[in-house]
Amino acid sequence: MHTRTLGQGLHVSAIGLGCMGMSQSYGPNPGDRRAMIGVLRGAVEAGITFFDTAEVYGPFVNEELVGEALRPVREEVVIATKFGWDIRNGTSLGLDSSPARIKTVAEESLRRLGVDSIDLFYQHRVDPNVPIEEVAGAVGELVQAGKVRHFGLSEAAAGTIRKAHAVFPVTAVQSEYSLWTRDPEREVLPTLAELGIGFVPFSPLGKGFLTGTVNPTTAFTDGDIRATIPRFTSENRAANQALVDHVARLAAAKNATSGQIALAWLLAQQPWIAPIPGTRRRSRVEENAAATSVPLSADELADLNTIANRIGVFGDRYNEAQMGFVGR
């Protein structure tokens, strides 16, 4: 797999791996820890070098899993994790990006991951109670101390990105972006292009919907976050099916999968974009990694954009409570 360069010269595989689902959010968690370690190590064998985790995933257990799995190949991979939550007794009580909390989380994440330095340290969500300049300054101190290598933001608005970058260089911004979530195109992507910051789309497969494995009759299991998301009501899934069907037809014509088409579309948007699809299965890891070998012509890209714009998307990507934490 070829690599891509985010801001500040950070080289990562063109396709990364989002690890959250190995510990939460998509139904009953896998009971076989060794199997998940096998998936992570299989990803490295498939050429993936970019792995995304966070303290709040679990909480805590996802960092431990990623750290254990990647320890034998530590020097070959880039591990991103995140700070920004007030977590007590295993429960997140809200946001906390105070400088003291950031430094405490860094120490705890280093220990759980079993590494000497965090490659990419994201603010998970913008904290309205802490000026972003203070956040950037705190992470900058961690970089100077050798505990963090790069600073990132997640779900931040363009103005916030500019303010942070003016204090300490931002390497990457992570937000949801896919064929059916185009919000970053209006302001965030132009800002990143101007400032030389990389972009890391999470949920690049629409939380599974763009792969064609979710349809209007799918019943979500207990603990599956999609059951709480307006975009995934059965009515909205039915309304959104036209986009998935169109992607599937193009995939069949190119001897590819729908997921590979969705990822190839993302890769074609900018050379500094590196999506991080998540999965619990090694076969899906290998399928996603192979998306780098699926070329899309200018006409095919234009066709996908036209159909996505014409059909639109039915349903918000988060519920009202979840939306309170994004786009600041």
Q: Which residues are catalytic?
A: 57
Taking a C-beta distance cutoff of 8 angstroms, is the pair 294, 250 a contact? Answer: no
Structure token digits, residue 247: 């992607």
**Residue partners of 49: CB distance under 8 A and separation at least 6:** 3, 12, 13, 16, 76, 77, 78
**Residue partners of 112: CB distance under 8 A and separation at least 6:** 55, 60, 63, 64, 67
CA distances from 166 to 119, 128, 135, 162, 308 (A): 21, 18, 12, 6, 35
Find the distance separating the first CA and the last CA of the chain, reported in whole Å.
Answer: 34
Taking a C-beta distance cutoff of 8 angstroms, is the pair 39, 282 a contact? Answer: yes
Q: What's the burial of 30, exposed, middle or buried (CB within 10 Å: 0-12/13-18/19+)?
A: middle
Q: Where does residue 264 fall: left (phi above 0), alpha (psi -120 to 50 degrees), or beta otherwise?
A: alpha
Structure token digits, residue 176: 């949801």
* Per-residue DSSP letter, 204: T
Neighbouring CB atoms inside 10 A of 115's CB total 20
Query: Which helix H or strand E contains 18, and what residues bound it?
Result: strand 17-18
